[in-house]
Structure 1
Amino acid sequence: MDEIIRAAGALLGQPLRDPVDLGGSSRSTVLRCRTATGGSVIVKAFADEPEARRAYTGETAGLSLGLAGPELLAADVERRLLVMADLGDAPTLADLLLGTDPKAAERGLLEWARGLGRLAASSLPRRAEFAALWQQHTQGLPSWEDEPWQLQNADAFLDLLTECGLTAPPGLAEELTAVGTAGGERYPGFTPGDTCPDNNLITADGLRLIDFEAAGYQSVFLTAAYCRMPFSSCWCVHRLPADLARRIEEAYRSQVVTQYPELAEETHWQAGMAQAVVVWTVDSTVHLLRRSLPEDGWTHRTRRPVPTRRQVLRHRWTSALELPGYPAFTATMRLLLSEIAAGWDVPELPGYPAFRDRSEPALPPRGPAQ
């Protein structure tokens, strides 16, 4: 830690002191430090392993665009070290959803959805700039935009079914391959990558995003699916009231149609959303199922209340039971529910604490209008 502080101070041009560890991850150390002038900054140092190196490049290139995150004050590509402005201790969207104020949580969700939609719509002209920034800060790894992670997940998903003793329904491999990039080439938009509730600060100046480690351009549908599922790859997963889930999806959509007016057409929108739900359901299964087979466990090491991995998986599979255009995939969901989840003695996924009085069944999947 002392070495990180000294290097960051030299990078910033002033000494830093009084570090507070903000948690970080296996990829990075994150510190809040006091400056010589009495202010504070956030220092982030990345480990020397492949995903940490990619995360450094994503964070630095993403913040350099100056779109929605903290100001990037300095970066050192050799040390994989950056210093950014401190946004303070504003509540995160996760704090609001797990709290007791339904109006604050609802405002936070709508602000989150509109903010992400505006970001996706306004960022398209800067795609080449982001690519240049990636090369400027590169650690020799491709961006997530260039990494075929969805097809890699598809292969891992098929292998996992075999490992579980299940036979994939005919046509499943072809459906997963056809999902491809979920509209990424036709409808790209910038995203910090991890837009989960704990990475969104609800400040007096509006929504501010943190954690740009997976920043890049991806299909707007992949972000929109976070509104519907909800929070496709996160630990903070509970049920939303159905009316509110629809409102936040429409709040996001209302912004992206300014860039992609054809997405106002209902059939087009619902087809893209179904595709994104397939992508994220496969992703959840690949990342959670193997750990969930021998025993259950919480989705977060320290935060409470949170669901268990088995609760999340069963919710994901149930929510994907009716996706028009994906008969083999929906048959696979039924297979997982009957052969795997049937033996899980866990309660249904609860509603978010902030909306417990409005808890309703999970928002049913909607297919393209007929």
Structure 2
Amino acid sequence: MEAIGRAAGDVAGVRLFGPADLGGSPRSTVLRCRTARGGSVVVKAFGTGPEALRGFAAEAAGLSLRLAGPELLGVDASIPLLVMTDLGNAPTLADVLLGDDPEAAREGLLAWAHGLGRLAAESVHRRADLARLWTTYGRGLPSWEEEPWITQDAAALLMLLSGAGIAVPPGLAGELTLIGAVGEDGYPAFTPGDTCPDNNLLTPDGLRLLDFESACYQSVFLTAAYCRMPFSTCWCVFTLPAGLAEEIEQTYRAEVAAVYPALAEDAVWQAGIRRAIAVWTVNATVALLPRTAEGDRPLHPTRRPVQTMRQLLRHRWEMASTLEEFPAFAETMRLLLRKTAGEWQVAALPGYPAFGG
């Protein structure tokens, strides 16, 4: 940590001391360091493996757009590391959703949806800038936008079903191709990539986004699906009160429809959202189902309350089983529900604690 602090001080042009570990991930170390001027900054240092380097490139490029997140104070691509302004210890959206104040939770959700929508709208014309910045920081690695993850997930699902002895309904492969077209629908916008509740600070100055390690341009529907599912790739998943999911979805939609007027048409919006739900359900299935083979486990190692992987999967499958415009896919979801019903014996997802559970 001391070595990281010294290197970060050189980048920021100020002496740093007293590094405090804020956590991070297998790819990165995150420190809060005090400055000689009495303030503090946040330093994020990355590993040297391919995924860590891609995370660094995405975060450096995404923050350099200066559209959202903390202010970028310096970058050292040789280490690599970033120095950012310290946004303090404001509660996250996860904190208020798991708390006991329903109004704070509702306001947090609306701030989240409004902030993401505004970011998407403001970013529409900056795609070339992000590509240029990736060239600067990416060391020749493919960007997240170039990653064919939707196609890879579809292939993985077919293999997973075969390995589980589930007969694939006729037409499923073709439907997965149609579903995957949500990534090519002509409505791209910038996203930090991980817009889960714990990466959203509710500061006195409004919503501030954290974690740009997967920053890219993607279909606005893939972000909007987080409102309806909710939180497509996250651990902090409970159910929302009737009407609130729709309210936050419409808040996001109003922002993006200002730059993509076709999204004001219900037929266009609903078709896109439903394809995105299918994409994220496939993603969750291939990521989590193999990990439940030997038993259930919590979605987060330390945060409580939290649901289990099997609870989340059944919740996702139940929602996706209603996508009757894709009959083979919907039937696949019902097959998964039937196959796991007896053995898993898990409760349905409860509501978020802030709204009474």
TM-score normalised by the chain length of structure 1: 0.95
Listed as ranges, the gaps of 5+ residues in structure 1 are 360-370
Q: What is the one-letter code of the residue matched to 2:134?
A: W
- 2:228 maps to 1:228: yes
User: What is the alpha-carbon distance in structure 2 between the residues aligned to residue 163 and residue 43 of structure 1?
Assistant: 44
Residue 170, structure 1, aligned to residue 154, structure 2: no
Q: CA distance change for structure 1 residues 185 and 270 in 2, over 3 Å: closer, same or farther?
A: closer
Structure 2 counterpart of 1:35: 35
- Map of 1:238 onto structure 2: 238
**Residue 75 in 1 paired to residue 75 in 2?**
yes
Alpha-carbon deviations, 1:256-296, whole Å to 9, x = none?
Answer: 10011111111111100110001000000011100012111
C-alpha contact 1:150 1:181 (8 A) present in aligned 2:
no
- Aligned partner of residue 145 in structure 1, secondary structure: helix
Bigger fraction of residues in helix? 2
Question: Using the alignment, how far apart are the partners of 1:263 and 1:342 within structure 2?
Answer: 41
CA distance in 2: counterparts of 1:341 and 1:135, whole angstroms: 48
- The offset of 1:153, in angstroms, is 0.6
| Residues 2, 19 of structure 2: 8 Å contact kept | no
Indicate the SS of the match to 2:23.
coil
Tell me the SS of whatever aligns to 2:74: strand
Deviation at 1:140, TM superposition (A): 2.3
* Superimposed CA distance per residue, residues 99-154 of structure 1 (whole angstroms, 9 cap, x where no aligned partner): 00000000000110011011111101111111101111113211111111100111
After alignment, is 258-267 or 337-346 more displaced? 337-346
Deviation per CA, 1:181-213, whole angstroms, max 9, x where unpaired?
A: 414450001100000000001111111100000
Written as runs of structure 1 = structure 2, the 5 A alignment for 1:273-352 is: 273-352=273-352
Q: What displacement does 1:324 show? A: 3.2
Q: Which runs of 4+ in 1 moved over 6 A?
A: none
Q: Distance in 1 between matches of 2:2 and 2:18?
A: 10
Work out the CA distance in 2 between the residues paired with 1:294 and 1:341.
16
- Residues 1:127 and 2:114 are matched in the alignment: no
Supply the distance in 2 between the matched residues of 1:336 and 1:351 (Cα, whole angstroms).
23
Contact 2:61 2:134 in 1 (8 A): yes
Compute the displacement of 1:48 (Å).
1.2
Length-normalised TM-score, structure 2: 0.98
Could you tell me which residue of structure 2 aligns to residue 117 of structure 1?
117
Q: Provide the alpha-carbon RMSD of the alignment.
A: 1.0
Q: Percent identity?
A: 63
Shift of 1:93: 0.3
SS of corresponding position for 2:182: coil
User: Following TM superposition, by how much is the alpha carbon of 1:229 offset from its aligned partner in structure 2, in angstroms?
Assistant: 0.2
CA shift digits 1:239-263 (9 cap, x unpaired): 0112101100001001110011111
Q: What is the CA-CA distance between 1:165 and the residue it aligns to? A: 1.5
Count of residue pairs brought into register by the alignment:
357
Distance between the aligned counterparts of 1:350 and 1:20, measured in 2? 36
Paired with 2:293 and 2:338, the residues of 1 have a C-alpha distance of: 14
Tell me what 2:179 maps to. Answer: 179
- Per-residue CA distance 1:199-231 (angstroms, 9 max, x = gap): 001111111100000001000000000000000
What CA distance in whole angstroms lies between the structure 2 residues aligned with 1:326 and 1:342?
26
SS in 1 for 2:91: coil
| 8 Å contact from structure 1 (residues 183, 272) kept in 2 | no
Return the letter of the residue paired with 2:281.
T
Separation in 2 of the partners of 1:273 and 1:101?
A: 29
Residue identity matched to 2:273: M
Match of 1:191 in 2: 191
Partner of 2:355: 355
Instruction: Name the amino acid aligned to 2:9.
Output: G
Kept in 2, the 8 Å contact 1:17–1:33? The answer is yes
Contact 2:158-2:168 at 8 Å conserved across structures? yes
Partner-residue secondary structure (3-state), 1:112: helix
| More moved, 235-244 vs 3-12 | 3-12
Measure, in 2, the Cα distance between the counterparts of 1:225 and 1:145: 18
Q: Could you tell me how far apart the structure 2 residues matched to 1:117 and 1:332 are?
A: 32
C-alpha displacement at 1:180, in angstroms? Answer: 2.5
Aligned-residue offset at 1:50: 1.3
Instruction: Report which stretch shifted further, 136-145 or 329-338.
Output: 136-145
Q: 1:296 to 1:240 in 2, by over 3 A?
A: same
2: CA distance, partners of 1:184 / 1:93 = 30
Match of residue 205 from structure 1? 205
User: Aligned partners of 1:163, 1:295: CA distance in 2, in Å?
Assistant: 17
Residue 368 of structure 1 aligns with which residue? none
Change (3 A) 1:316 1:47: same
- Specify the SS of the correspondent of 1:340: helix
Q: Which blocks of at least 5 consecutive residues in structure 2 are unaligned?
A: none
Paired residues of 2:124 and 2:190 also in contact (CA < 8 A): yes
| Equivalent residue number for residue 103 of structure 1 | 103
Q: Secondary structure at the match of 2:145?
A: coil
